[in-house]
Amino acid sequence: MITLKMAVRNLARRKVRSLITILGVAIGISAVVSISSVAKGMQHDIKVALGGSASLIVKSKTAPDPLSSLLDQSVEERVRRIPGVKHTVSVWFNNRVVTIGGRRQPIMIAAVERGQYDFVVGSRVEPIRGKLPGDGEAALGSLAWNQIRPRLGDTVDLGGVKLRLAGEFRTSSQLANMCMITTLDSVKALRGRAVSCVFVQTSDPRRVKREIERRIPGVEAIETSKAVQGMINNLRTVEIAGLALSCIAGIVGGLGVANTMLMSVLERRREIGVMKAVGATRARVMKIFLVESMLISLIGGALGCVLGVAGTYVVVDLLQRLEGKAITMIVTPDTILRGFLVAIGIGVFSGLYPAWKAAKVDPVKALRHE
Amino acid sequence: MAEVVIELEGVRKVYNSGPTRVEALRGVDLRVRRGEFLMIVGPSGSGKSTLLHIMGALDTPTSGRVKVAGREISNLSDRELARIRNRYVGFVFQEFNLIETLTVLENVMFPMALADGEDEERAKRLLLKVGLSEEHFDKFPNQLSGGERQRVAIARALANDPEVILADEPTGQLDTKNSHRIMEVFKSLNEDGRTIVMVTHDLSLTRWADRVVVLRDGKIVEEGSPDEVTL
């Protein structure tokens, strides 16, 4: 307890120096937290874009991706008959300019069969204004809503089909938050018998994929977990590069801690001599100085976590408002934990050498020479 | 004859400071007996402080034998030496050497924290015993006078109930009035059975001691009761 009090008071005694050192650590940690939370958000968006809760997405073999694919709606019925298929949902994606409340706006439309929005997005689609759309209705994601600023009940003209704006929704995916959703039947006049793809749930994706491709000519079934994993692996490389950069910031922060602690050891040589004179072992002296460097790093870590989350939130929000760019940011306990672990690492490694120097102080010289 | 608590035999201490070789102690033989008030006097540079540091296991001799708490200190590990300094001896210094970031009470509890754990009640009792009132307990050292600081240092030295108090010029920074008061504290501790070894160059203090040792150029040149020694 006394050791901790000493550490706190020593930091408080040299406020400016402590604050600068803490900020140095905080910048490194905030970079780690920020990059981790944006990377997690991007991973989440990839999962949503590649199938939500579905284990397979059936699309046209010739289409490069599900969004630009076109299939006959009978494909879903044929897929459903394959043993092992638990659930299917057809989705029609369409990117078009719509008129909402008299204002023209390009937007991605996702028309989902029987309104199974949660299944397609892979997380809860929550109405925050009005309700989720039924037949003849549409709803806008929160980002699209903020950009267009319509009113509930406005007419949404899709160019041939008019829907009533029933609500605004929010999901954990910023990608989905930029879309307009409706039911598959609402846009029948636009799509005819076409759908973009079929979302399939099965416990045996590999076998069902083979069966689908064998039985239905011209289609391809994508295993979402593999596709997601592939993209996430690519993303992870970028994430690692980002984390490596933030580690450099962390190392700079650590050097700041080491410098502060070395100065502290030099200034407190006499105090170290006294500690030894009253019975502190070398190990105990090391511990006392390590507690201080850990304290600096943990305060820096906590501040870095707050700055990382708040700073990223502000940047993401500004990008959405000013540029209309959707960036998902997900902060999980392990993101914060990662920040703290890096902070602890900084505290231990940067405090080790100064603490060892302190432990080596000769008490007789320290007491005699100052 | 009282038990010997610290024993030195042929102790030499040589310091090498660059090309200069300083022989601080040149074969010192000395026995400190339980309960005595021993005063080591001598001019500056005579090796008094070095001798005291060696007696308290804070320093080791270049050659010779030193037994503290019945153990030869030359071969002890850092942990064992620290244990002796923590429990068997208590140091009091001329410059008080309190830890500035700890309060009066915490300074006294610090050696306890290094041993079995902090005992706040005992720390308070020790402070009261050396004549500091409760109003000072939560003050920091820079809020105290010199005499008060030295009282805290004495209480800290008593923290783990040591056998011997080793005091290095404890009145060196104090005026006559405060010096007298501090000497009264030491005398009272000695009367309670505590062994006191004090180093000083202030010859007027020898009257407080049972035995006086005169050190000159690293050697004991005279030894006896305050009346016997010719200073």
pLDDT in tens, B67-108: 998 889 988 999 999 999 999 999 999 889 999 999 999 999
Q: Is-contact A260 A252, C-beta < 8 A?
A: no
pLDDT tens sequence across B122-170 = 999 999 988 899 999 999 999 999 999 999 999 999 999 999 999 999 9
Angstrom distance (rounded) from CA B208 to CA B38: 9
Closest residue on chain B to A367 (Cα): B97
Question: Which ranges of chain A would DSSP assign to H, the alpha helix?
Answer: 2-13, 15-49, 74-80, 117-121, 142-148, 174-177, 188-191, 205-215, 224-267, 269-277, 282-318, 333-360, 363-368
Option in B50, B79, B110 nearest A278 (CB): B110
Structure tokens at A243: 């984390």
**Contact call for residues A202 and A100 (beta carbons, < 8 A):** no
Secondary structure (DSSP) of A253-312: HHHHHHHHHHHHHHHTHHHHHHHHHTT--HHHHHHHHHHHHHHHHHHHHHHHHHHHHHHH
Q: List domains and CATH numbers for chain B.
A: 35-61+72-224 (3.40.50.300)
Sheet holding B71-72, edge to edge: B20-33, B4-17, B63-68, B71-72
Query: pLDDT for A185-241, tens place per residue?
Result: 999 999 899 999 999 988 898 999 999 999 999 999 988 877 667 667 777 777 788
Of B199, B222, B153, B210, which Cα lies nearest the Cα of B41? Answer: B199
**B40 Cβ contact list (under 8 Å, min separation 6):** B48, B51, B52, B197, B198, B199, B200, B212, B213, B215
Which band of pLDDT confidence, cut at 50, 70 and 90, is reported for residue B118?
confident
Say how far apart CA B44 and CA A277 lie, in whole Å.
Answer: 22
Nearest to B82 among A2, A270, A281 (CB): A281
Token match 């201080």: residue? Answer: A292
Task: Using CB atoms, pick whichever of A5, A6, A367 lies closest to residue B97.
Answer: A367
- pLDDT value of residue A49: 63
Between positions 112 and 151 of A, the ones with CB within 8 A of B are none
Among B99, B106, B108, B169, pick the best mutation site for testing chain A contact (most A Cβ within 10 A): B99
Scan residues 174-193 of B and list those with Cβ closer than 8 Å to A: none
Q: For residue B117, is pLDDT > 90? A: no
pLDDT value of position A25 = 92
Residue B227 to chain A, least CA–CA distance (Å): 32
Q: Could B83 and A279 be called an inter-chain contact, meaning their C-beta atoms sit closer than 8 Å? A: yes
- The percent of residues above 90 in pLDDT, for chain A, comes to 53
Q: What is the pLDDT of residue A51?
A: 56
In angstroms and rounded to an integer, the radius of gyration of the C-alpha atoms of chain A is 29
**Helices A2-13 & A15-49, crossing angle to 10 degrees?**
100
Q: The tokens 């000493």 sit on which residue?
A: A6
Residue B17: per-residue pLDDT = 76
Q: What is the ipTM of this complex?
A: 0.93
- The two structure tokens encoding residue A228: 């997601």
Straight-line distance from the first to the last Cα atom of chain A, in angstroms, rounded to the nearest whole number: 28
| pLDDT for the residue A132 | 93
Instruction: Specify whether the CB–CB gap between A42 and A198 falls below 8 A.
Output: no
Chain B residues with CB under 8 Å of A10 CB are 101
Of B60, B81, B78, nearest to B69 (Cα)? B81
A&B contacts, CB < 8 Å: 75
A139, β-bridge pairs: A167, A181
Give the model confidence (pLDDT) of B169-196 as tens digits.
Answer: 999 888 888 889 899 999 999 999 999 9
Q: For chain A, which residues score pLDDT lower than 70?
A: 47-52, 227-228, 230-231, 323-326, 369-370
Q: Which is more confident, A123 or B63?
A: B63
CA distance B86 to chain A (A): 4
The pLDDT score that the predictor gives to residue B1 is 66
Beta carbons within 10 angstroms of residue A214's beta carbon: 9
Instruction: Report the alpha-carbon distance of residue A159 to residue A137 in Å, rounded.
Output: 15
Domain ranges of chain A: 2-47+230-368, 56-202
